[in-house]
Structure 1
Amino acid sequence: MNEKKSLILMVEDEEQVLNTNCRMLRRRGYDVRTAQTAAEACHQLEEHLPDLLILDIMLPDGNGLDICRRFREKTMNPVLFLTGKSDIRDRVEGLQQGGDYYLTKPYNFDEFLAVIQMLLERQKRMEKKIKEKFQSSRQITIGSLRLDLSDGHAYLNNADTGLTRTEFSLLRLLAENQEKIFSAKELYEAVWGSCAGTDTSTVRRHIFNLRTKIGAEDTDEYDIVSVYGKGYLFTCR
């Protein structure tokens, strides 16, 4: 599957600069959209949020700093200022308003490309870390056993254990409360949703099936233990 092209919005009122940069960026595989005014840029941002925003500061109907502030209200995707304003105060203000990098005209095109690649790759790494953090927060891992809370499946050595929905709910409850003893009545109420006429044989049968499917008897990493006269607990060995 082809990787999705990075979308770049370039806001530049000098037509020759705009056309040259767009042509070169498209040759390198980027999806480039353009705007020559602040109003046009704001309209583009309402339609699509680019992966990278390249901004001139001086525009015929507005200021690139204002566009940057509006962009920052919507996303943390990178902003590159590409402008003729080279004073150190302008550079500082551009960064303070949310810019990630500041290049002044005239500039070296190889440096321009390197900065774009750096900003986009950095953003991808950040997004990957956020995604991994979210995914890890949706999992319970105990040795070779992994519970994926997002899809309701349990995996043993990355192979699906084939738990039923009820078995998964039972395992999740026990695994999230390791070393805590649950009576059959408590398990029945939590998993089956009722405590009236608790059927301990149902709980016992599900615990037996659960231990078999997660390989509790074949590992020294964990077990679901029956505590005589009290109930059941999940323990790590």
Structure 2
Amino acid sequence: MTKVLIIEDDNIFGDMLSLYLTEEQYDVVRVASAGEGLRTLKDYTPHVILLDLMLPDTEGINACALLREFTTIPIIVISAETKVSERIQSLSEGADDYMVKPFSMQELKARIEAVLRRTTAIQSQIVSPTPASPAADDRVLTLDLARRLLICNGTEIETTYSEFEIMKLLYNNPSKVFSREELINAIRGIDSYINERAIDVHITNLRKKIESNPKEPQYIKTVWGVGYKFMKK
């Protein structure tokens, strides 16, 4: 079942979206602020996020840019803002689509499906095995600091700003244990939305991208009660 996270503070419009998508057999969770959205991502991994830009806790901040620091999940902006400049800014800062309120629910469904088709196609290209690839347990992981790229088996892996900063710190200090607080401090330019639970989300996302089996990680190890460490092979 396709899972959708709606971040919308307008109760009437948010309930309308939730009801429609639920009736269309989507699994829906709705929250009313960007902060709640980030906390929800700890335990709920949606296939797509519907994001209102005008939220009570993002005044003066582009909500899409804020959210994109923490996740690569497809984002469809749903906004009453009609300015072309706002659309361009949101798309350039990580949105996958932009819809202006009011809009047709049928069109929303079509756009969700279109975004998911694109995402599925990209993921298939990335994970499809090739004869030349090393065995899963012999993955080669490198960092290209100049281009800010994480490379696994020769494939460039997309990361958010925060994911790369965390990976850089761990990678450059193999076997050293970092507390969550130390990892938070390593993410420069991020405001109060970053917290220990957000760090856990970043680590989970990184493991999905670099580990052959994220549930039994070989690179990023958990040190229970303390934090995380990176093991070079």
**Equivalent of 2:115, from 109, 114, 119?**
119
Matched with 1:91 is 87
- Using the alignment, how far apart are the partners of 2:132 and 2:135 within structure 1? 5
> Are 2:55 and 1:59 equivalent residues in the alignment?
yes
> Are 2:92 and 1:81 equivalent residues in the alignment?
no
Mark the CA change 1:67 to 1:49 in structure 2 (over 3 Å): closer, same or farther. Answer: farther
**Equivalent of 1:28, from 15, 19, 24?**
24
Q: Show the 5 A alignment for 1:1-237.
A: 5-63=1-59, 66-132=62-128, 135-136=129-130, 149-150=135-136
Letter in 2 for 1:24: Y
- Using the alignment, how far apart are the partners of 1:122 and 1:64 within structure 2? 31
Report the aligned-residue RMSD. Answer: 2.4
Letter in 1 for 2:87: R
Q: Is the 8 A contact 2:22 2:28 kept in 1?
A: yes
- Using the alignment, how far apart are the partners of 1:46 and 1:63 within structure 2? 24
Unpaired runs of 5+ residues, structure 1, are 140-147, 152-237
After superposition, the C-alpha distances for 1:157-196 in whole angstroms (9 at most, x for unaligned) are xxxxxxxxxxxxxxxxxxxxxxxxxxxxxxxxxxxxxxxx
- 1:110 Cα shift? 1.4
Unpaired runs of 5+ residues, structure 2, are 138-233
Mark the CA change 1:116 to 1:63 in structure 2 (over 3 Å): closer, same or farther. Answer: farther
- Using the alignment, how far apart are the partners of 2:89 and 2:66 within structure 1? 15
Give the TM-score normalised by the residue count of structure 2: 0.53
Q: Is the 8 A contact 1:55 1:64 kept in 2?
A: no
Q: Is the 8 A contact 1:57 1:63 kept in 2?
A: no
Q: Is the 8 A contact 1:38 1:64 kept in 2?
A: no
Deviates more, 1:60-69 or 1:100-109: 60-69
Mark the CA change 1:63 to 1:121 in structure 2 (over 3 Å): closer, same or farther. Answer: farther
Answer with 1 or 2: which has the greater Rg.
Answer: 1
Helix, strand or coil at the partner of 2:42: helix
- Using the alignment, how far apart are the partners of 2:119 and 2:59 within structure 1? 25
Letter in 1 for 2:123: E
Mark the CA change 1:8 to 1:150 in structure 2 (over 3 Å): closer, same or farther. Answer: same
Q: Is the 8 A contact 1:79 1:98 kept in 2?
A: yes
Q: Is the 8 A contact 2:20 2:105 kept in 1?
A: no
Mark the CA change 1:58 to 1:137 in structure 2 (over 3 Å): closer, same or farther. Answer: farther
- 1:118 Cα shift? 0.5
- Using the alignment, how far apart are the partners of 2:2 and 2:15 within structure 1? 18
* Aligned residues with identical type, % of pairs: 27
Letter in 2 for 1:84: A
- Using the alignment, how far apart are the partners of 2:85 and 2:63 within structure 1? 18
- Using the alignment, how far apart are the partners of 1:149 and 1:84 within structure 2? 49
